[in-house]
Amino acid sequence: MENYLIIALIIVLGSLAWIIIKKYTSKKIELSAQDNEIKGLNLILSGQKEEALGLFKEIALKNTSNTNAFLQVGDLYRELGDPKKAIKVHLEIVERLGLSDAYKKVVLQSLASDYEASKNYKNAIKYASKILEIDKKNRWALKAIHRLNRKLGDWEHAIEAFYRYKKINSNLNPELPSIYKTMEALERVKVGKIEAAKSLLKKAIKLGRCSAPYYYLGFIAKSEGNAKHAIDYFANFAELDVNRASLIFEEIEKLYFEIGKYEQVEQFYARLQKKQPNNVDVLLGLANYLERKGEHLEAHSLLEVAPTTMKHELTFMITEMNLLKKMGQESELKNKIQSFLISETEKKLLTCSKCGHHEKEPIYICSECGYLKEILI
């Protein structure tokens, strides 16, 4: 009887010991996996992504229900330049049952990023759109769909995506819909559908205060022999975008001469000058026009009263020197050339080659970035 009691006691104690050992070892394994995940995240933060990938793959293989580990594996595949493997991993996660909506959004974002990295923009849009089915105002998804349609060259849907994204981001450039419609028009131009292109460009004008459609409508009108319409479009372009206005100066001058209204060229430049009096391109456009007319003194007078800031512009200096040469003022021209050369040499010798900071005096160490050169002179 005593032997049976001893045997029973041994069995009970053994069972208890096994339970304790199992509980202890299970806890140790769980803690070890958690520690490894933290270690993996630290490796990512320190830029050691290949090492992190190896570690997360190991964690995922040991516990296939660890979706966080699989998510990290997929993200790391993409970041290391293998989006196809990333897609495979993330697709397997998104098909799992029981994922919360919050977690599903994270996985769908990773999938959209995978497809974008592989330049499969249609599928990237598909998975970004699935996020909006869960969260209609998701900022990441709205921004991504706008960007992806632009990359895809789907200008019509890019405009739709712009307006959806603009509802939560008022800082978007309001000219974008007009630019997108212009891009759509240019695709028609490439295949010879000029009338369709013109219609789209006119729609672009209605979509926003943008100079782009006027520019292309000007060239279309010119190619069709409609000088008056071309002038109107070019003038609108120049007045909307004075910084790029010089692109059409030569064109608009030719067109005014073509219709016999060359006196209106000066009026055109005067309107631009009134709009932007400190724009050097507009001033030089008028000066060059006067010079071509043979009105050298008037052109030179215009340059003489120009703001001092303009006179340091390279294009201004070259225009002025060219004018002095045509006026026969050799002595003043020589002085201008010498002054220009000294100025450019000083800029070169007293400018830090690393950060571009310009010093007033010769130094050895740049006062801006601390770069040490043998000598700055």
CATH number of the domain at 56, please: 1.25.40.10
- Give the range of the structural domain holding residue 120, as residue numbers without chain letter: 31-164
Predicted pLDDT at 341: 53
In a domain, 282, yes or no: no
Distance CA 236, CA 234 (A): 5
Segment 306-345, tens digit of pLDDT: 787 777 777 777 777 777 777 776 666 566 566 655 555 5
In a domain, 94, yes or no: yes
Segment 134-146, tens digit of pLDDT: 999 999 999 999 9
Res. 33: pLDDT tops 50:
yes
Res. 377: pLDDT tops 60:
no
Strand-pair partners of 372 = 365
In a domain, 352, yes or no: no
Predicted pLDDT at 29: 45
Mean pLDDT, the chain, rounded, equals 83
Distance CA 205, CA 232 (A): 14
Q: Can you tell me whether residue 358 is helix, strand or coil?
A: strand
- pTM value? 0.72
What mean pLDDT comes out for the span 158-185? 95
Number of domains in the chain: 1
In a domain, 118, yes or no: yes
Q: Which helix (H) or strand (E) holds 57?
A: helix 49-62
In a domain, 317, yes or no: no
Segment 245-299, tens digit of pLDDT: 889 999 999 999 899 998 898 889 888 888 888 888 888 888 888 888 888 888 7
Predicted pLDDT at 31: 46
In a domain, 304, yes or no: no
SS3 content of the chain, % helix, strand, coil (to 5): 75, 0, 25
